[in-house]
Chain A
Amino acid sequence: MLYFILRRILMLVPVVIGLTVIMFAIARILPGDPVALAAGPNATPAEIEALSHEFGLDQPIWTQYFHYVGGLLHGDLGTSLLTRRPVAADIAAYLPATLELVCAAMLIAVAIGIPLGLATAVWRNRWPDYLSQVVAIGAISMPRFFLGLLLQLCFAMWLMWLPLGGRLPIIVIPPPTVTGFLTIDTLLAGDLHAFTMALRHLAMPAIAMSLSPLATIMRMMRASTIEVMGQDYVMTARALGLPRGKIILKYVARNAVSATLTVIGLYFGWLLGGTVLVETVFDWPGLGLYATKAIVSQDMMPVIGVALVIGLLFVLANLVIDLLYGVINPKVRYS
């Protein structure tokens, strides 16, 4: 077990090397002159050269790369050309917001998608099932940023139930940072008012993010439930008179969930990289917004850092899913 985890964590090393090589290639080979952009429109060639020299951009690319990897070893992700702030510190500041958003969205998606998928499979081929299939494809087709705009229009602008964007109103003093998740930190600080505020800010972006994974998880759960319901052991359970409710909630659900887990893991990683649009709509200070600002000004160090962090989280999420899979499905536990 421990060996398995250690081996999987060791496998992260080639992923880090690969990711940095690819991102470096994109940053350096593609056209564009980030230094000129960072130096500003009135910079003289000498100033640009000085800036270039300061950031080591005048050195050959492989020197730059080894310099970067050397920094990585002690947690240095480089420095932003534009703000001159260390990328690692910025990412540490923005990552919790993105993680909180993704976790909230996944929580909604799993909490609703799994029971809904189970229910539609049990009542399959009747109208609630057909309806939910159409709605699910509709939900997958809904652009998240358009849904976000609609939610904003409806609940923030017309009904004025929820705040328009951000994580907390300026007047609320943020809680001391423990996890970086405002909903958890406010609770830890015992500040119920701030907690409600954080939750209200989180609601709309999380819903906008959750719709498409919710629909996918529901469809996946429906398909695997139907498959499990056709298994011999379900027939045996029926033949031996187990109550229908117990068969579905205990015997079918657990096996169907284990088949759905893989999708949940893939989606988790996918959402991490897909928060950009929702963060833009709701002005949510996360990695996506940070990366967008950097990309627009071709400030590549933050972009490489963000891609690296998200890539690693993606791999880690899948590791966690594999471990969970072993918990649910005893047969694969030791292999």
Chain B
Amino acid sequence: MTGPLLSIRDLHLTMTSFDGAAHVLNGIDLTVQRGEIWGLVGESGCGKSLTGLSISRLVPTPPATYRKGEIRFEGRDILKLPLREMQDLRGKRIGMIFQDPTTNLNPAYRVGEQLIDVALAAASHDPSVLGCPPGAGRRERRRAARRLAGEMLERVGIPDAGARLDNYPHEFSGGMRQRVLIAMALIGRPDLLIADEPTTALDVSVQAQILKLLKGTVADHDIGVILITHNLGVVAETCSHVAVMYAGNIVESGPVSNVIESPAHPYTRALMAAIPTKASKRGTLKGLGGTVPNLITPPPGCRFAPRCPLAIPACTAALPGAVDLGADHRAACIRLEALEHV
């Protein structure tokens, strides 16, 4: 496969509610190759989760409508796929992990049962997943799926994996549950993994283990990952690339080293400044003034302009396009030259 694994072009998404239509995604561009871990960062409500859900086409329409743009997975436009074919991608080519490990496992079933179900669904698309001979009977496939489920649990670092298959979700700790969910997302051997805030609900030491696990998975299987988070520290530690979102736009994107070391967009800079470091003095913790704009009546032009320290009247004229800064580093701002000197 020569083309990119995933390429999102000019994606526009509108949500209709009682109060009106909110333009929640406003021209998203993103390209993910195998072996890359993309961090998608931004404040709550900036549209990062919706971007992730859109890739699996899990945003309910209505109330949402895709007004423009395309999401190509290995060249095929996901938004135009018939539901049947979309079903063949979910879990098999595209895996997902969500934020809260306590609510994402069904409390009524043993975890093994849930892993087996995903494995069997994946096998209906690609029988090689289970490693059974073709034409294997129902019972044989089930046994193979159970073996695979045990292997997966072991691979994500759950001790005594074979026995834990028969435990219910509430018998696991939060970190262990997230591992189960990662095993579930990986059991169908996906090529793209979307992880929506996978570590937010966990405590810090567990967080690091889970991120390490994700990183190892990419190295082992040569898959692409989109890691949605609001934590730039997580991005710096884990990701190879980063896209910074603000109010439905990607304002800056590129390799992590470039973006973190020389952030170009004022919003990225503000986010960076808000991270406390060893060097920052007591009482100098910096927040970002203002709040995310109302997306039903967004400010004209650059959506960040009302909060931007460097805004000039021209900023409110039109939505700025992405400027190429070299080495795949892009930023959408018309004040980049002025910024160089700040």
Direct contact of A and B (CB under 8 A): yes
A binding-site residues for B, Cβ under 8 Å = 231-233, 235-244, 246, 250-251, 254-255, 258, 328-331
Which chain B residue shows the least CB distance to A240?
Answer: B91
> Are B118 and A240 in contact, with the CB atoms below 8 A?
yes
Which 7 A-B residue pairs are closest in the complex by CB-CB distance?
A: A241-B91, A241-B90, A240-B91, A239-B96, A232-B103, A233-B106, A232-B104
> With the chains together, A236 CA to B109 CA distance in Å?
14
Task: Give the contacts of B238-283 with A (CB-CB under 8 A).
Answer: none
Q: How far is the CB of A228 from chain B (nearest CB, A)?
A: 9
CA distance A233 to B96 in the complex (A): 12
Q: Which residues of A contact B122 (CB under 8 A)?
A: 241
The reply to whether B100 and A241 form a contact with Cβ atoms under 8 Å apart is: no
Cβ-neighbour of B107 out of A238, A240, A250, A331 (below 8 A): A331
Interface majority SS on A: helix, strand, loop or mixed?
A: helix
Q: Which residues of chain B are within 8 angstroms of A235 by Cβ–Cβ distance?
A: 58, 98, 104
Partner of B87, one of A232, A243, A250: A243
Q: Which residues of A contact B103 (CB under 8 A)?
A: 231-233
Interface-side segment among B27-35, B181-189, B324-332? B181-189
Q: Which of A239, A240, A243, A329 has the most CB of B within 10 A?
A: A240
**B98 contacts A241, CB within 8 Å?**
no
Known: A241-B125, A242-B117, A244-B87. 11 other contacts (CB 8 A): A235-B58, A237-B114, A237-B118, A239-B91, A240-B96, A241-B87, A241-B90, A241-B118, A241-B122, A254-B108, A330-B108
The answer to whether A236 touches B108 (Cβ under 8 A) is no
**Given the contacts A255-B107, A330-B107, A236 and B168 also touching, CB distance less than 8 Å:** no
CB-defined contacts of A246 to chain B, threshold 8 Å: 117, 121
Q: Are A233 and B105 in contact (CB under 8 A)?
A: yes
Q: Provide the bound-state CA to CA distance between A241 and B98, in Å.
A: 15
Cα separation A258 to B96 with both chains bound (whole Å): 28
A237 to B115, CA, bound (A): 10
Listed by A's residue number, 13 A-B pairs whose Cβ atoms lie within 8 Å are A232-B104, A233-B106, A233-B107, A235-B104, A236-B105, A236-B181, A241-B122, A241-B125, A255-B108, A258-B108, A330-B107, A331-B107, A331-B170
Contact A242 B118 (CB under 8 A): yes
